Amino acid sequence: MTTPPVCDYEGSDYQKSFWDEGGRAYEDKAEEIALKRLLPKSGKLMLEIGAGAGRNTPRYKGYERVVLLDYSRTQLQQAQERLGESGDYIYVAADAYKLPFVDGLFDGATMIRTLHHMQDAPAALKQVRRVLQPAGAFILEYANKLNLKAILRYALGKQDWSPFTPEQVEFVALNFDFHPKTVRQWLDECDFDLQRQLTLSHFRIGILKRLFPAQFLAKLDALAQLTGDWWQLTPSVFTLNIARGESKIAAAGSFFQCPQCGTPLEDTPEILVCSKCGAKYAVRNGIYDFREPLA
């Protein structure tokens, strides 16, 4: 199965340079507030897709266990250093287009700051729906092309793409902004019922961030977020979606499946072997590696 190219974060210091030292305390706090509003109070097994270094993972407190999935092994190593190796966190290196889990395994999933790397977003969303149980909660964040800055730049002739048209825009290789209407249509086509939208980062403007403390801007943002169901004009939008319809629930004890052929895998230590196609996958230092089979 050929899948679209991946935006590779292997070896990236994203967490340190973008979040810890990148002056983004306001955006981080605004996300914490949005997650508190959207997350179910409790759950059993959460899948965090594109977990990176686990910045948001501690916020999924209500869930008994969290699977951190990321294509980058080094991002997962950083997450492991921050969060530890308790059985509550399961680290999985894999491609979001080929999730290595049996159908209907999770009762919750999130995808934050990750859809914007998906050239084929509907294919990734289909995978999320496949691994979710009926009525499972899915929190999706996406980068919004219809944001005020883009509208202004377009009106002033400083930007050649229109923020009003439905197609995605690739502003840097493998970095996409999406139209809210298009994302809603994809979610519907993938059998998700959209429950709530929150708009984030209303005040992502250099001068405001220099003049006002992050906490203050985040409090203002918390109020403005509440207009998210009426209009979406901010660079980032959080959505809460519920898996619609009847679909499979994973059998007790089943968990992983072969990303090559879809056969359930037995979770044997160090190496998982597919009984159908023979593909072998390594578990190294607490990280399951499904990126490609062992040679």
Which tokens go with 181? Answer: 């209407």
**Closest separation between CB of residue 196 and ligand SAM, Å?**
20
78 binds ligand SAM (CB under 6 A): no
Binding-residue pattern over the window 104 to 123 for ligand SAM, x denoting contact by CB under 6 A: --------xxx--x------
Residue by residue, DSSP assigns 111-171 as: E-S-GGG-TTHHHHHHHHHHHEEEEEEEEEEEEBSS-HHHHHHHHTT--SS-TTSSS-EEE
Nearer to ligand SAM, 245 or 286 (CB): 286
**Spatial contact of 203 and 26, defined as CB atoms under 8 Å apart:** yes
**Closest separation between CB of residue 266 and ligand SAM, Å?**
24
**Closest separation between CB of residue 124 and ligand SAM, Å?**
7
**Closest separation between CB of residue 217 and ligand SAM, Å?**
18
Nearer to ligand SAM, 4 or 134 (CB): 4
**Spatial contact of 25 and 229, defined as CB atoms under 8 Å apart:** no
Which tokens go with 219? Answer: 């409090």
Q: Choose which of 55, 130, 145, 204 interacts with ligand SAM (CB under 6 A).
A: 55
Q: Choose which of 60, 71, 192, 255 interacts with ligand SAM (CB under 6 A).
A: 71
**Closest separation between CB of residue 121 and ligand SAM, Å?**
11
Nearer to ligand SAM, 7 or 169 (CB): 7
9 binds ligand SAM (CB under 6 A): yes
**Closest separation between CB of residue 24 and ligand SAM, Å?**
10
Q: Choose which of 30, 38, 52, 140 interacts with ligand SAM (CB under 6 A).
A: 52
Q: Distance (Å, rounded) from C-alpha 122 to C-alpha 119? A: 9
Q: Distance (Å, rounded) from C-alpha 225 to C-alpha 202? A: 8
Which tokens go with 72? Answer: 């980058």
The β-bridge relationship of strands 106-111 and 132-143 is parallel
80 binds ligand SAM (CB under 6 A): no
Query: How many other CB atoms sit within 10 Å of the CB of residue 272?
Result: 22
Query: What is the b/e burial string over 41-50, where b = at least 16 CB atoms within 10 angstroms of the residue's CB?
Result: eebebbbbbb
Site for ligand SAM in 83-102 (CB under 6 A): 95-97
Q: Which residues bind ligand SAM (CB under 6 A)?
A: 6-7, 9, 14, 50-52, 55-56, 70-72, 75, 95-97, 112-114, 117
